[in-house]
Structure 1
């Protein structure tokens, strides 16, 4: 079966849209009916995330890590124990397209690194979007890495030991480990996801912090 893993920390305002987009992707006809299991890894949630998640046909895993690397790894471990052959990762404030999983599998590689687009720039000064667009290259063969749009075969994931217990950049390190192991990786724009540009981001040094940094340090590279 195919597994989708979503880490979540106090995501009651976003998680419903995320899950609904995942359910739609799981029902894509190109998957030929292969089972898809979704697990929401709720890390130290103190809001209504659990109540929202409980209303959907997904699995919920509660942890108290305050660490996105550990959360992604815990979700992956749970799905691997249930027989997952492919692990797809996204974030709780992200919407995936209906063909998201089908596009990942269609790449026929060990891993797939996709792109992201921002849903709403209104919370940021106009120069932030301009600088972002000048630095981001959403083309085939790009080298961007996003935990919000990442897929990897179970075999390749296990070969490199999975996600490291890092509070940030766990996705970058995993892809580096995959490359070092000789895994084949597809860098594509085909399955682009839509993510939030909110200011109250959950992961320090993540995408939200990167956007804020563009106000004063536009020369930074996008992870």
Structure 2
């Protein structure tokens, strides 16, 4: 560990109790949007001090006057006459005083717990920056629906919903002054060299869909190609943003119709990837057949929480199925070994739980599977025959790679939503409401590749789930047992909650 990292960690310890935050909002001709953005920022439930810096970037409308009209001491309006998104960002940083730099856009509305959630994630060991996901608050219903599906696929720091420790920002060199479109991704890549960048998929900001309504093909193409150029070549293909404004766009009906068609195709692809029972890309096991048994499955382990879950399962004499992330198995080999020693079933859940698995190449997916298989075998002596895709998302390439390795792809029937951090009562309610004969139930003993995840809701809910299902007459089986029964037509070797065969 170098001296800079040690110094940063020592300063971080002193800052963790309600660090001060500077929220930077770049704005160009946002008179119509800025007021709602600021109202959302002023409603934050954060206990610490925070300031809001609106950077008026050469606007010709009343953006600055609208922001000043709030008369709130937390809001400061500064002017950056040089046009350009990155110029506004850098001016905001220079003007700011917070220990944490948070960023959002003038056409974006953040939830009341936004700052609290960002600080919580930034307080985790080794985390230097955090971002959330997105949805649309305007546009036609089909666009808002698409936003809910595609917006959660964000995989890097995004300027409308992100925060970074100031010292890490400065160490990474800040925003590149030559890059507007992709400035956030370039900063993300720099920050990953000095610490962890996390994406919180429960932290959703609502933004305007106008750029996709105005020019859907151009907007999608620019973002995709620009990200690809930054990742592959380290420089943007399109350094600047187009000026999307609905009022200035004369072909809205044509664009909306075209956008609708494109969105339907994208939505169909995402649904085919995501729906647990979809067989469009190949055979997937999402249900164990109509038998009076259910399979409890746990994803993302092993982790420190795995020990407590194994203790609970052992107390009820129940066997379950654990889909292990290879990186976590390498980090906690003892936990992986104890899963096997307890007689439980293992599955492969990739090496690093990649977010963009549906669009990864077959070669990359194959390496993810093989690396995880190797780590699991090394920790347990067992090579899994089951595979669960990260987030449940599949693609033709993924299914081909699994087929080459003779892995059975398993999804689920019931999503407990414990991964969302919902209370244990809600986890129990969802499972007991949705369980049916043969259900494969999705639970988690980890949270991706987080080293010390908070799985308290799962641990608290598990005994009540077991007792509730047993009370309804269900028996418990591993996924492998359910598959054996379906194939052979024999009685599943399942257990009751007290372990009787």
TM-score bucket of the superposed structures, by smaller chain: 0.7 to 0.9
CA apart distance, 1:205: 9.0
1:115 and 1:145 in contact (8 A); partners too: no
Match of 2:183 among 164, 170, 192: 170
Match of 2:94 among 77, 84, 98: 77
Larger Rg: 2
CA apart distance, 1:178: 0.6
CA apart distance, 1:143: 1.3
Match of 1:110 among 128, 150, 162: 128
Q: What is the aligned partner in structure 2 of residue 203 from structure 1?
A: 241
CA apart distance, 1:203: 3.4
List per-residue Cα deviations over 1:108-143 (Å, max 9, x = no partner). Answer: 221101101011232x9x5x6677666x2627xx61
Aligned equivalents of 2:241, 2:157: Cα separation in 1: 15
CA apart distance, 1:146: 1.8
Gaps of 5+ in 2: 1-19, 216-239, 247-254, 267-355, 360-501
Matches within 5 A, 1:85-104: 85-104=99-118
RCO higher in structure (CA 8 A, sep ≥6): 1
* Structure 2 CA distance for partners of 1:132 and 1:93, relative to 1, 3 Å: closer
Matches within 5 A, 1:1-223: 1-25=20-44, 28=45, 31-32=46-47, 34-56=48-70, 57=72, 58-79=75-96, 82=97, 84-107=98-121, 108=123, 109-122=127-140, 126=142, 136=150, 138=152, 143-165=155-177, 166-179=179-192, 181-199=193-211, 203-204=241-242
Please tell me the root mean square deviation across aligned C-alpha atoms, in Å: 3.1
SS at match of 2:139: coil
List per-residue Cα deviations over 1:85-120 (Å, max 9, x = no partner). Answer: 001000000000000000001112211011010112
CA apart distance, 1:182: 2.4
TM-score (norm 2): 0.37
CA apart distance, 1:204: 2.3
2:135 and 2:144 in contact (8 A); partners too: no
* Structure 2 CA distance for partners of 1:64 and 1:171, relative to 1, 3 Å: same
SS at match of 1:190: strand
Aligned equivalents of 2:138, 2:33: Cα separation in 1: 14
TM-score (norm 1): 0.79
Aligned equivalents of 1:148, 1:77: Cα separation in 2: 19
SS at match of 1:156: helix
* Structure 2 CA distance for partners of 1:66 and 1:97, relative to 1, 3 Å: same
* Structure 2 CA distance for partners of 1:85 and 1:17, relative to 1, 3 Å: same
* Structure 2 CA distance for partners of 1:169 and 1:133, relative to 1, 3 Å: same
SS at match of 2:203: coil
CA apart distance, 1:70: 1.4
Aligned equivalents of 2:22, 2:144: Cα separation in 1: 33
Aligned equivalents of 1:216, 1:146: Cα separation in 2: 23
Aligned equivalents of 1:185, 1:39: Cα separation in 2: 24
1:168 and 1:205 in contact (8 A); partners too: no
Aligned equivalents of 1:137, 1:42: Cα separation in 2: 27
SS at match of 1:163: coil
